[in-house]
Structure formats: structure tokens, C-alpha cells
Amino acid sequence: QALRSDSFYLAYQPQISLSSGMLTGAEALVRCSEKSLSKIGTEHLVEIAEKSSLILELGKRVFELACEQIDIWNRQGTPPSLIAVNLSRRQLSDRKLVSMIEETLERFNVGIHQIEFEITESSLIQSHMLAKQNVQKLRKLGFRFSIDDFGTGYSSLSNLRHFSLDKLKIDRSFISEIEENRHDKIIVEATINMAKSLGLVVLAEGVENEAQIEILRGFGCDEIQGYLYSKPLSSEAFELLFRQEEPKL
């Protein structure tokens, strides 16, 4: 019903460079204005859509909304550097994924360099050959890819290598107790070193205090995303943010 009534919209959570303190982009997070779904987070909305077989329709709508908003910003002459859009496991294995993306881009004034696709570690593991082919086709077109929630699944270095990714996002569960939990600290440092050796940009999710920032900066983490800097914002609030473009950290 929410899809039929077009009740979905996007919120944008900023991503910040740890070296410069500047905005590097944002993750587009789907929200719903339907009263029964308005308090449900992005992850749960996607889970509901997956179970009801509506995920392909929802994924298409999210990509359209992201492109529509980037188009508006481009026409205003104030485009953000990068918007990250999530792709679900079902989308990754959809034969029509690449054509859907190409057809959507034809309708909007959006550059391929302005979009990054996020895929979760679990979807990467569970995906079959078609998903790998879709990723390869999209990369050939010029799209960037990041692996989201890294550390929560059971992927191997070979998975990261075969999927030819650009960015690794460390899951918030490893960041929340990094100050006190020795094991989390060891895992995060090792993950950053591993990602760097593969030439990946590293982003830490769920950063909520300055102590976490100092630890992550010491480990060589590139970017952060979390409530310390900003909650997910409306398109208008996010636009005000990147128009200012002053160091944030």
C-alpha cells in the first residue's frame, strides 16, 4: 500500500573525512510517511519488503528518488560529491537490475560518479553468479561499490577481491564499545589494515563520541558516519550542510 501511495522518501546521513573534516557524501536511507510504518528504520523496511517480495519495486523507487534529488541539486548548481544507495540481495541477483539503472539515469541529469552502491556483507556471501556479473557490469559503467556492515557476516578476503569493491564500511557494533573492548579494538585495527592493503577506502559507522574518532584516526580510518556528526537529514537540511562546506571535525 505504501508503494502504491508513493509514501516513501529519503533521508541523508552525512559521511565525513577524518583527515580534512570535510563532507565526502551521504548515505540515502529510505523512510516511509505511512503512519503504520513511519517509525520503522531502513533495515526493517527492507526486511519487510524482502519477505513480501516487494523489494525489487522498493529498490527501484529508492534509486529513482535518489536520482531525482541529485538532479534537483545539479540544476541548482550545488551538487553533493557522492550519494550512496543501498542494493539488496534480491536486487543484486535481478536480471533487470542494470537495465533499470540505465533507464533511470536516462530520465535524470545525474552523473555516474555521483552515485555509490552499497551492498551488505551478508548479501555478498549469499549472492550467486548473476550478482557478480551485475556488479561487474555496473563497475564497467563507472559506478563505485562499498560493502556495508562489514564484520557481521562471514565473508573472506577472496570475496572482497572477486567483487572488486571501492570502500569498506565497518559495522557500528564494533565501534560502539571500541574504547573499552580490547577485542573490538583489535578487530577494527586489523580490518582497517586489511582494507588498506586491498586499496579500499575505510568508513566507520555509528561513531558517537570524540574518543572513538581519535582511536579510528590513529588506526588510519578514512571516513566516519554517525550521530556524533549528524543524524539522517531531510534533503533540505542536508543541502544546507553541503552548501556551507566548512571543516566539520
Judge whether residue 36 has pLDDT over 60: no
Longest dimension (CA), the chain: 50
Judge whether residue 103 has pLDDT over 70: yes
Average pLDDT of the residues in 44-52: 66
> Which of the two residues, 1 and 186, has the higher pLDDT score?
186
Mean pLDDT (the chain, rounded): 87
> Which of the two residues, 164 and 245, has the higher pLDDT score?
164
pTM of the model: 0.89
Instruction: Tell me the DSSP string of 48-101.
Output: HHHHTT-HHHHHHHHHHHHHHHHHHHHHHT---S-EEEE--HHHHT-TTHHHHH
pLDDT of residue 38: 47
Of 52, 46, 137, 57, whose CA–CA distance to 89 is shortest? Answer: 46
> Which of the two residues, 48 and 239, has the higher pLDDT score?
239
Contacts of 185 (CB under 8 A, 6+ apart): 178, 215
pLDDT of residue 244: 81
> Which of the two residues, 38 and 160, has the higher pLDDT score?
160
Percent pLDDT > 70 in the chain is 82
Spatial contact of 12 and 28, defined as CB atoms under 8 Å apart: yes
Percent pLDDT > 90 in the chain is 65
pLDDT of residue 148: 87
Average pLDDT of the residues in 175-202: 94
Domain annotation for the chain: domains and CATH numbers:
8-170+230-244 (3.20.20.450)
pLDDT of residue 5: 47
Judge whether residue 231 has pLDDT over 80: yes
pLDDT digits (tens, 9 = 90+) for 126-158: 667 888 899 999 999 999 999 987 765 555 555
pLDDT digits (tens, 9 = 90+) for 84-93: 999 998 899 9
